[in-house]
Structures are given as C-alpha cells and as structure tokens.
Structure 1
C-alpha cells in the first residue's frame, strides 16, 4: 500500500510542484502543443473507513464557460466527473489508497483526468489559462 508520503515523493520527482500543504499538492504537467495543465491531488484520510486521493484539474472559470457543454463532455469520459469549486469548473476523480499502485492506480487516472481537462479547456475556452 502506498502512503501519502509516497505520493508526494512520486509527484516531486516527476512534476513541477506549484504549491503544497500537509493535505494536498498542486502541480503542472506539460501536454501536447506546448500546453500546460495544473492538477491538484488531495489526501482524503479516513473517508468511508479508508484513505482516498482526489485528483482534480481545472477546465475554466465557471462563469466563463458553458457548464452544460462541460457536463456533456464529462459524460463521455470513462474517468472523472465535473464539479465547480470556488468558481472554477473542474474534472475530478478519486482513487482509494488501499492497495494503491502508484504507477497503475494513480498515475494512469492522473494523466487521463489532466488530458481530458486540458482538451475540454481548449474546446470550451480556446485558451490555456490553467
């Protein structure tokens, strides 16, 4: 089982960390066409009897995008769901930490959420703000 410390160390060695606290990390990934995408991973301890990781990546400012279109786009994805937090539209996904394989059960969904959020951001805003 991977620990929160393992996740932090994994992220620090692979990505540009922008901000960090005891319970979350915000970092940047580089994608195609020199686009970048921010992502935040929150440690959710003792949720339903076990710890979870919440992966979220911004799509755009909620008041500046068509939220219905975002929901329709998110509905086509096998991973992640749409949410609005503090005025920012996000794609979010959670993974349990119990028996977590960082490479298969964290990095794969991480990259999928980030790629979809970036594609949705491009489609809905034609920008690369996040």
Structure 2
C-alpha cells in the first residue's frame, strides 16, 4: 500500500522542493530549452473510500489568457483537465493513492501534466513565469 509519506519521500529525493505542508508539496522540474515548470501535489481527503493525489501545474494568470482556448487545448491531452484556482489557470490530474505504483501511476502522469502545462504556458503567454 502506498502512503502520502511514500509520495513525499519520492518527490524530495528527485526534485527541488520549493514549499511543503502536511497536505501538499510544490516543486520545480526542468524542461526543454532551459524552461522550468512548477508543479504541486496535493493529498486529497478520502473520497469514494480512498485517498487521492492531485497533480497540478500552472499555465498562466487566468485574467491574462484566453480561457476558452486553454480548454480547447487541454481537451486534446490524455492527462489533465483545466481549472482556475486563486486566479491561476492550471492543468490538473488526479490519481488514487491506494496501491499507487509511484513509477507508473504517479511519475508518468506527473511528467505528462508538467510537459503539457509548460507547452500551454508557452503557447498562451509566450513566457516562462511558472
């Protein structure tokens, strides 16, 4: 059984952690052409009998991008959906924590969400703010 502590330890040993609390981590991944991308992993409360993990990565400030275009582009991706939290447009994906294979069911979607969010940020804002 995979625990939230397992996820925390996995992230700490592989990535530059920027912020951390009991229920979430924010860290940075390197991307192509010297770009970087922030990502947050949240431990979600029990739902449908089990805990979940949400992976989210910012795309841009919601009031500075074309949100309809973001939704159209996000809809083309195999992982993630678009949302806005605290004025920031995000690409988000959730996975169940119980029996989670960190290598396949966490790391792979994590990298996919981050790569897609970075590409969307570049396309929609022409910047690398996040």
**TM-score bin, normalised by smaller chain:** over 0.9
- Structure 1 stretches of 4+ with a deviation exceeding 2 A read none
Alignment RMSD (CA, Å): 0.5
Q: What is the match of residue 51 of structure 1?
A: 51
1:73 aligns to 2:73 (yes or no): yes
Q: Give the deviation of 1:27 after TM superposition.
A: 0.3
Unaligned runs of 5+ in 2: none
Question: TM-score by structure 2 length?
Answer: 0.99
**Counterparts of 1:1-130 in structure 2 under 5 Å?**
1-130=1-130
Equivalent-residue separation in structure 1 for 2:63 and 2:81 (angstroms): 18
The CA deviation at 1:3 is: 0.6
Q: TM-score, normalised by structure 1?
A: 0.99
Q: CA deviation at 1:129?
A: 0.1
Can you give the 5+ residue segments of structure 1 that lack an aligned partner in the other structure? none
Distance 2:99 2:45 in 1: 14
Q: Distance in 2 between matches of 1:13 and 1:121?
A: 27
